[in-house]
Amino acid sequence: MIRIGQKIDDFAFDVYQGHEIKKVKFSNYRGKWLVLLFYPVDFASSRPGKPEEAANYYDRFTKGGAEIVAVSINTVSAQKTRHGDSPSMKRVIPFPIAADAFAKLSRYFGIYIEDARAYLLGTFIVDPNGVLKPGHSRRDRRPERQ
């Protein structure tokens, strides 16, 4: 599992973007800030959630030298189908959506809970040199005191 301050491994993974499926590696994003958005459930037709929200700010990210990659537990084929079915997905998701159906990336970033076979929400930031910076995941949240 990767830790803050470490350089990320150069995994290859499939993404869906712009009506095509392609294979990329983390090194494709070197030289840019990379924001990884992990979400446990792929897009519901009524509310796509975190990726749709990030899409509202995508132009600001790219102008600042950053790229966003959403990471879904579904396969790229399921994402392609879902993308075609969801009006909001057609409209607003300009960045790549990575497939993590076997939890390889989720395990690496520490947001897959083996015992429960569950995925957590998570946001991770990788600097232009490929080093993991502090981000946010549900596991980071502390219970509120009563």
In the predicted structure, residue 4 carries a pLDDT above the cut 90 = yes
- What is this structure's pTM? 0.81
Q: Which of 131, 92, 97 is nearest to 2 (CA)?
A: 131
* Residue pLDDT, tens place only, 39-76: 876 544 444 457 778 888 999 999 999 999 999 887 77
- The number of distinct structural domains making up the chain is 1
Residue 110 domain boundaries: 38-132
* Residue pLDDT, tens place only, 89-131: 555 578 999 999 899 999 999 999 889 888 888 899 999 999 9
Cβ partners under 8 Å of residue 74, min gap 6: 42, 82, 99, 101
Which residue matches tokens 């490929």? 130
In a domain, 21, yes or no: no
In a domain, 72, yes or no: yes
Give the domain CATH number at 50: 3.40.30.10
Cα–Cα dist 117/41, whole Å = 13
